Amino acid sequence: MTVQSLPHRRRIHAPDQQPDLAAAEQAATDLLEALGLDLGGDLEETPRRMAHALAEMVTVPAFEMTTFANTEGYDELVVVHDIPVRSLCEHHVLPFTGVAHVGYLPGERILGLSKLARVVDFYAHRAQTQERLTMQVARRLEQELGARGVGVVVSAEHTCMTLRGAKAPGTHTTTSALLGRLRTDPSTRAEFLALTQRA
């Protein structure tokens, strides 16, 4: 096995952040009481649970990006469908959930398939907008792989829209980011979008 064909691993580090759970629990207590909730009885543990749940959703997981030499010269689309997306709307701190379809046209390197889901999870674990999340995933993959093209489509339901405000349950928002040949080559773009629609 040549050096060129060995896997390349690079640690993708999370932003420096350590939630202060004690402070978060006190803040949750203050918020819930300010909203008029009686935190006695069945709600006594709610501030702690709330603080831990929110901390889990905004704690970014580090992971190892593993790529391999494209020794076979594979030059067709690689697409992973229905990657779960769970994030927090940065405007209301309410969850949005859905799926991402992620694909790329390999260049000199290919990616361990599970890492496509890891990249989505990495950018979803924070207060986010769906538009930014979609672009961050696409740009990271382009940067890490030197891919000839990258495509990301995210479809998600935003509880800030379905449970409050417009109160429009069942609505989904779709965003896309197309880079390289998936943006400039009409046939490649159409192929990727058709594959995501059939998922």
Q: Which phi and psi (to 5°) does residue 52 adopt?
A: -70, -40
Does residue 89 have an active-site annotation? yes
Does residue 92 have an active-site annotation? yes
148, 138 Cβ separation under 8 angstroms: no
- Among residues 8, 33, 45, 91, the one annotated as catalytic is 91
- Among residues 25, 125, 128, 130, the one annotated as catalytic is 130
- Among residues 81, 92, 108, 172, the one annotated as catalytic is 92
Does residue 160 have an active-site annotation? yes
- Among residues 52, 108, 160, 191, the one annotated as catalytic is 160
Instruction: Find residue 95's DSSP bridge partners.
Output: 88
- Among residues 33, 44, 64, 90, the one annotated as catalytic is 90
For residue 36, give both structure tokens: 């008029």
- Among residues 89, 125, 136, 144, the one annotated as catalytic is 89
Does residue 52 have an active-site annotation? no
The CA distance from 138 to 133, in Å, is 9
Ramachandran region, residue 180 (left: φ > 0; alpha: ψ -120 to 50; beta: rest)? left
Does residue 26 have an active-site annotation? no
Q: Which whole-number Å values give the CA distances from 97 to 42, 114, 191, in the listed order?
A: 28, 19, 26
Does residue 158 have an active-site annotation? yes
Does residue 101 have an active-site annotation? no
**Residues in Cβ contact with 107 at an 8 Å cutoff, skipping those fewer than 6 apart:** 70, 145, 146, 147, 148
The gap between the terminal CA atoms of the chain, to the nearest Å, is: 37
| Active-site residue set | 89-92, 130, 158, 160
